Amino acid sequence: MRAKILWTLCLLSLTWSTFAQELSVRRGDYEARLGANGVEIRYQGTPIVIGSSFTLFRPRYEGAHFATADLSAFAPRREENRLVTAGRIPPEGAQFTHQVIVEEGGVQVWFTLRLPPQEQPLPLEVALVMFPPEEFAGGSYALHTLFGQVRPQPLPLQKPATSAPGTLQIVGNVREMTLMGKRVQLSVRVLSEATPIFYDMRSREFPEPQRVYWLLYGWQGSGGEWRCGVQLQARPAEQATSRATSGRVTLREGVRGVQVNGIFVHGEAHPVEKAAARELRQTLRQMTGAEIPLVEGTGDNLPA
């Protein structure tokens, strides 16, 4: 009996080992796999994507039909240089397909949802890829437009304080951008008509692996097919690339300096004044990488 159990365990172990090997693909400098946190991608051994997830909500975000990061329940399979996962999810008739395509020149990640007609739109959120702060925090990002590359903007070392519960939109309507990290420079190019938002989720109330940078798509689906996709291409970071620091901002008049701890605007100030305060905060962030809190109120508790 004991020998039979041991033999069964050996078979299970062998099956699991073979299955785990089938869930990874390597081409050139790139390796992709599917894990408990979703998609994981490495470039020359350095993690550049550390997770993914998708959630199909009920109407008006009143609960969720389905949410997951781990795709193992859908028996993902390897097809040459692809990791392919497909399955049916609630509500009845809904189907999704997830693909990771690994080539020597980069990696593509795709997600497709087919939704039967709905009486009310169902919100869909897809964090197609999640980027590690360990690599990119303290670096910078730069958007690419029809007019060329926009000047790089800093990615602060620490998550800035915001009025929302941990959500910070870094930039929206992303078509193409470059992330400059410690070891890797990563090009992110959107391949689909749908465009994502780049978020800093480091203090959001998510499980620890998801408190990172998100490339997040959204859709209000009443039926039909919707898809999103990105291409990732990496190269070693240039050693001369400057990195942002969480330094201080000091205003000087002659030899006298005053450290800036915050920007205050009165709650009853004119909208133009409030807009100017936000613009000042953004300008200081672009110049120094420091995050200056923007405080709105009566001013009663401000230090003298």
User: Is residue 239's pLDDT more than 70?
Assistant: no
What are the Cα distances from residue 269, in Å, to 210, 275, 277, 296, 299?
A: 38, 10, 10, 9, 12
Residue with tokens 């997770």: 51
**Cross-strand bridge partners of residue 123:** 220
**pLDDT grade, residue 282 (50/70/90)?**
low
Question: Which positions ≥6 away from 87 have C-beta within 8 Å?
Answer: 73, 74, 95, 96
pTM of the model: 0.73
The pLDDT tens digits of the residues spanning 135-156 come to 999 999 999 877 666 788 999 8
Choose the weakest-confidence range: 18-22, 58-62, 148-152.
18-22
Question: How much is the pLDDT for 6?
Answer: 35
What value does the mean pLDDT take over residues 9-36? 67
User: Is residue 198's pLDDT more than 60?
Assistant: yes
> Which of residues 241 and 228 earns the better pLDDT score?
228
Which structural domains are found in the chain, ordered by start?
21-236 (2.70.98.30), 250-297 (no CATH)
